[in-house]
Amino acid sequence: MKRRTSAHTPQETGTPTLAPDTVTAALTPAENALFAQVGRPRRCYAGETLFRRGDLGTTMYVIASGAIDLDFGDDLIAKRLGPLEFFGELGLLIGDHARSADAVASTDGELIELRHEEFQRLVDSDPGLVSHFLRRAIMRVVLNEQGLIRRLRRRNQDLQSALDSLRATAHQLNQTEALIRTDELTGLHNRRGLAQHLAERRRTGSLKGLGLVLVDCDRFKQVNDEHGHLVGDRVLQSVANILRSVVGDGDIACRLGGDEFCLLVSADSRDAVLSFADFIVTTTRGLQQVPRHAEPGQVPLISTVSIGACLLDGERDWNDWYAQADMALYRAKRLGGNRVEWQDDAFAAA
C-alpha cells in the first residue's frame, strides 16, 4: 500500500467520515453570511482541480453552490461536499499545510475563498462568531482524529503529529482571543475586554461592590506636539504600569482609547474607591516631577492625570456609570487637572 504524508481526512473535508457523532462541517446561516461578505468569490467548473494531495495550502473554501469531490486515496472513503460545507481549513489555521485530498469540482458552481487577510477581517468583524466557529472546527478535527487513531493504527505517528499541530492551533486561538481583548500599546484590556468582563460579572450577578475610576492624562496633546508620538507612547505605557500595579483579583485596568484609561475595582465605599484614585494621582505627580528636577528639558516619562470616580449601581448599565464618572473627570480637568473628583447621585442632585 502506498504511503502518504498525511492522513488528515476530517481536517480537509469538514465532513464526518468515521462516526455518527462527529461534528458537522456545515456553516450556520450567520457564519455563512459573514464568510460570504468577507471572502473572495470564485467560480469553479466541472472537472476543475482545486488542489492535489501533498500541495501546501493556506486557503480555506466554503461551497456557495455546486459540489466538490474530495479523494483521500488509499483505503479512505471519498466524499462529496455541497453548499454551506467547508474544507481546507487547516491550510488557513496552520499555514502551508499539506493537503490530504485531491479536491475536484464535480459540477459547475461557486466557492468562497478565505485567506489570512480575509480571516483577520472576519476576526475584526465578529470575533465572537469566529471564535465559536474555530472552536467547533477544532473540536470536529480532534474527534475525527481520535476516530482515525482507532481505525488506522498503522498511521499512529502521523496522527500524533496532527494532534500536536491541533494543540498548537488551539494555543494560537487562545492567544488570538487574548489579543482581541488587549490594547496593543499598553498591554491593558481594551474596550472589548472591558465589555466582556462586565458581561461576565452581570451574568454571575457580581456587579455590586465595584468602583469606577476614569483616568485622563493632563496636557497629553502638548506632550505629543512638543516631543513626538514615541515619547507620548512611553507616557501612556508609564500610566498603564501604575494602573496595572494597583489592580487585584477581579479588578480590571483598561485603556479606553487615546489617553483615557479606566479602573474597575472591588470597593464598597467612596473612601475605598478614592484610595485607588489618590494613589494614582500621587504617584504620577511624583514621577512627573523627577526628570524636571534632575535634568531640565529632559523629555517627560509620564504626565499628571485627572480622575473622575464613582461607585457602580448594579441596576444600571455601563453608559450610566461612565457618564457619572465622566462628569467628575470633566470637573477635575476644568479645575486644572492633577486631581481627583467624585460623582454620585447626591452630588448631582446638589
Q: Are strands 40-44 and 79-81 parallel, antiparallel or unpaired?
A: unpaired
Q: Report pLDDT for 171.
A: 64
Residue 20 DSSP code: T
Per DSSP, helices labelled H in the chain are: 9-13, 29-38, 89-93, 116-125, 127-151, 156-180, 191-203, 220-227, 229-246, 270-294, 318-334, 345-349
The single-letter DSSP state of residue 303 is -
Q: Whole-prediction pTM value?
A: 0.50
Quickly state the pLDDT bin for 213 (edges 50, 70, 90): very high
Question: pLDDT band at residue 28, thresholds of 50, 70 and 90?
Answer: confident
Paired with 57 in beta bridges are: 97
Beta bridge partners of 214: 262, 308
Q: Let me know: does 261 contact 254? Beta carbons within 8 Å.
A: yes
The CA-based diameter of the chain, rounded to the nearest angstrom, is: 87
Residue ranges of domains in the chain: 9-180, 191-349
Distances (CA, A) of 147 to 131, 153, 165, 317, 324: 24, 10, 17, 47, 57
Q: Decide which of 3.40.50.1820, 2.60.40.10, 3.10.450.50, 3.30.70.270 is the CATH code for 191-349.
A: 3.30.70.270
CATH class given for the domain over 9-180: mainly beta
**Amino acid identity of 118?**
E
Q: For residue range 58-83, what is the model confidence (pLDDT) as tens digits?
A: 899 999 999 999 988 776 678 899 99
Query: Across the strands, what pairs with 44?
Result: 109
Contact call for residues 301 and 285 (beta carbons, < 8 A) = no
Please check whether the two domains, 9-180 and 191-349, share a CATH topology: no
| CA dist list (Å): 68 to 6, 57, 86, 97 | 20, 17, 10, 19
- The predicted-structure confidence for 36-60, as pLDDT tens digits, reads as follows 999 999 999 999 999 998 888 889 9
Output the CA torsion 161→167→170→171 (10° steps).
-120
